[in-house]
Structure 1
Amino acid sequence: MAGRLAALRGRIDDACSRADREPAGVTLLAVSKTFPAEAVQEAYAAGQRCFGESRQQEAAPKIEALPADIEWHFIGGLQRNKARKVVAAFPVIHSVDSLRLAEYLDRVASEEGKRPQIYLEVNIASEASKGGFSPDELVASAAELAALRQVEIAGLMAIPPDDAAAARRWFAATRELRDRLRKESGLALPGLSMGMSADFEDAVLEGSTVVRVGSALFGYRPYPA
């Protein structure tokens, strides 16, 4: 585990060097969904502190059992009936796919006394199989998003089409959309959550601040039958 972590961080450092960026500006998010608490503990012992989970029910016992200084990120699809529990347990949420959900989280966070960071999920390639804001919807919703007070809009999240050769193009498009929103809305949008095990170096080259890496760290993911 320590060796795999060191290798991943070395690859991030190399990509940052190529992009003339500081490695400290890129967070390695270890995607621990489907893996047991023991695997998270092993990564924690090797120095990893940020972990991503996609199901609240699966994450809850891990959060309870593991060290309190872990920063948990919610990366799965978020239903309104799970929002309150997710807001209570996760300081960072990467999958806010509509204005309606953002406004609901803002209200829940106020009621719970929390201030989560949220990433706005954008369907950057307008794929029918994926959710998220379309680029046009995001631009049209900018004023309402800027009015939210209890959630902190950390930036944009995108998953490009499943074509490694074209991934960098879509990462660049996400960054350009973020920059346009900054200029037109006044939202700070400091973060870009993009890049996974197969393409995170291209994402770093295009400005990613959070790379979500699972299989390259933990190995084969044991999905239930």
Structure 2
Amino acid sequence: MGREARLGKVAGMSIGNEIERRLEIVRARIAAAARHAGRNPSSIRLVLASKTQPSAAIRAASRAGARDFGENYVQEAIAKRAELADLTEIRWHLIGHLQTNKARAAASAFALIHSVDSVRLAEALGRAQPSPRVRALIEVNLGAEASKSGVAPDGVAALVDAVRDKIEIEGLMTIPPPAAGAGTTRPYFARLREMRDRLAVQSGLALSELSMGMTDDFEIAIEEGATIVRVGRAVFGERTA
């Protein structure tokens, strides 16, 4: 093995060790937040937000026991799936906005799509994969932000009713507006939980999933009922792109 190859291997081991260390810390924080809220830590799924991360970082996280990875873009995720095809236990999530023209590719690429926000998109997913139906969450734009996708709160019930026979709706997802402090996101998480609970009664659907909370506020999200937290920076470090 040449000097450059040896240095590359050492660097890879160093990065892998750091990812493993950070992952252990995040898992401990999740467990502590769950216990503080009187919840079972095993009821919370950690999805590692791996947008722009190289396949080597995802492989390192997988070696440390991570199984769920969230991507923002369909084509980037498909490329990584191909590079990491030997990691058969990985579950891929789409956590970014999904364009309708990418629905066919997304339908078979992801274990769960977190960002359905229109009848048109749900219909496209249903046509792409009528059986088994695509597992998905409805994305809710609680902050009424023009720059973000997601259905408005007053349109969620109608959307659920319109698409329930086209996709497998498993719950709701939200990304609160940027805030000066993590504590300001709590009302949004509480509101999503309350909305989910009402919808479950009205629709008769289980709606068991709440995807909410990221690096800066996942503990608050857990206290408010999150079943899925999407964490990237706390495990992978700052993005370089």
- Of 156, 161, 165, which residue of structure 2 is paired with 1:138? 156
Structure 1 contact 32–52 (Cα < 8 Å) conserved? yes
Distance 2:129 2:121 in 1: 12
Do structure 1's residue 152 and structure 2's residue 168 form an aligned pair?
Answer: yes
**Structure 2 letter corresponding to 1:105:** L
Q: How much has 1:123 moved relative to structure 2?
A: 0.7
Q: Which runs of 5+ in 1 are unaligned?
A: none
Count of equivalent residues: 219
- Which residue number in structure 2 is paired with residue 89 of structure 1? 109
Following TM superposition, the consecutive aligned residue runs of length 4 or more in structure 1 with deviations greater than 3 angstroms are none
Do structure 1's residue 37 and structure 2's residue 51 form an aligned pair?
Answer: no
Residue pairs, 1:175-214, within 5 angstroms: 175-214=193-232
**Structure 2 letter corresponding to 1:126:** A
Q: Which runs of 5+ in 2 are unaligned?
A: 1-18
Distance 1:144 1:55 in 2: 26
Distance 1:171 1:68 in 2: 33
Structure 1 contact 126–134 (Cα < 8 Å) conserved? yes
Distance 1:195 1:24 in 2: 16
- Which residue number in structure 1 is paired with residue 89 of structure 2? 69
Q: Aligned with 2:70: secondary structure?
A: strand
Distance 1:93 1:140 in 2: 19
Distance 1:85 1:143 in 2: 25
- Of 121, 126, 132, which residue of structure 2 is paired with 1:106? 126
1:56-90 Cα deviation digits (max 9, x unpaired): 22122210121122100011111111111111211
TM-score (norm 2): 0.87
**Structure 2 letter corresponding to 1:99:** V
What is the Cα-based RMSD across aligned positions, in Å?
A: 1.3
Distance 2:189 2:156 in 1: 16
- Of 5, 15, 28, which residue of structure 1 is paired with 2:46? 28
Distance 1:38 1:221 in 2: 14
Structure 2 contact 104–124 (Cα < 8 Å) conserved? no
- Which residue number in structure 1 is paired with residue 7 of structure 2? none
TM-score (norm 1): 0.93
Structure 1 contact 160–170 (Cα < 8 Å) conserved? yes
Q: Aligned with 1:89: secondary structure?
A: coil
Structure 2 contact 171–196 (Cα < 8 Å) conserved? yes
Q: Aligned with 2:26: secondary structure?
A: helix
**Structure 1 letter corresponding to 2:65:** G
Q: Percent of counterpart pairs with the same letter?
A: 49
Structure 1 contact 146–185 (Cα < 8 Å) conserved? no
1:71-129 Cα deviation digits (max 9, x unpaired): 0001111111111111121121011111221222122111xx54321010001122222
Structure 1 contact 87–114 (Cα < 8 Å) conserved? no
Structure 1 contact 88–114 (Cα < 8 Å) conserved? no
Distance 1:152 1:142 in 2: 10
Distance 1:147 1:25 in 2: 27
Distance 2:110 2:42 in 1: 22
Distance 1:154 1:221 in 2: 30
